[in-house]
Amino acid sequence: MAMVRSWCFGGLLAMLVGAPALAEPDWGRAGGAIFVGAAPAAPAPETAEASQLPPSRQPYDAAVSEAAVRHRIDPKLLHALVTVESAYRPQAVSTAGAGGLTQLMPGTATALGVSDRFDVDANLSGGADYLARQLLRFGDLRLALAAYNAGPERVARLGRIPKISETQAYVAHVVECYLALSAGRTVRSVGDCRGSAR
């Protein structure tokens, strides 16, 4: 038994030391850089496929892009969040009292310096700021989205996505919409995003 353990340990050690490190996927080259503005190691060569993607036809595209770039996140990610949060309805109000395109709660809006949650530019800037803070805090897209939806303290305490069906569905929907947008699709509701991750 000790010989088997020794052999297994030796084999594992050899694999870890002798094998090349697994390469991290380069999401930036795939059109999925979550943070923008940092200098890339090398520019991605333009492919025929990438150059054929049509310009964005998303609602509020200029305002979303401006807010996202200001807070150094991918505009497609902010579009995905807005799609799931409000389906681009600037006057949307949830049963919990969240309001606007990015569905800011009153206290969160105040903390972010947003005086009018229904002002498109102010709401988008506040939502982008809050999402960027969660991305920096958690270093993981899914945890950041869970924190945006269920609250950062709950996610920090658990160290994972809470077992709340609404939050789990929310994270899945935003990721699915982000993938659809990264593939060049136009989406305006969660239903438009379905099937993009399959």
Q: Which of 24, 46, 66, 85 is catalytic?
A: 85
49 assigned to active site: no
Question: Any idea what the CATH number is for the domain that residue 99 is in?
Answer: 1.10.530.10
Is position 87 within any domain?
Answer: yes
- Give the domain range for residue 123: 58-191
Is position 27 within any domain?
Answer: no
Over pLDDT 90: what percentage of the chain?
69
Is position 86 within any domain?
Answer: yes
3-state secondary structure of 73: strand
Is position 110 within any domain?
Answer: yes
Dump pLDDT digits (tens) for 91-143.
Answer: 999 999 999 999 999 999 999 999 999 999 999 999 999 999 999 999 999 99
Is position 177 within any domain?
Answer: yes
Is position 94 within any domain?
Answer: yes
The Cα-based distances of 89 to 74, 100, 101, 105, 112 in angstroms read 21, 7, 6, 16, 21
Q: Tally the domains of the chain.
A: 1
3-state secondary structure of 99: strand
Binned at pLDDT 50, 70 and 90, residue 31 comes out as very low
3-state secondary structure of 165: helix
- Please give the structure tokens belonging to residue 103: 């569905």
Is position 155 within any domain?
Answer: yes
Is position 101 within any domain?
Answer: yes
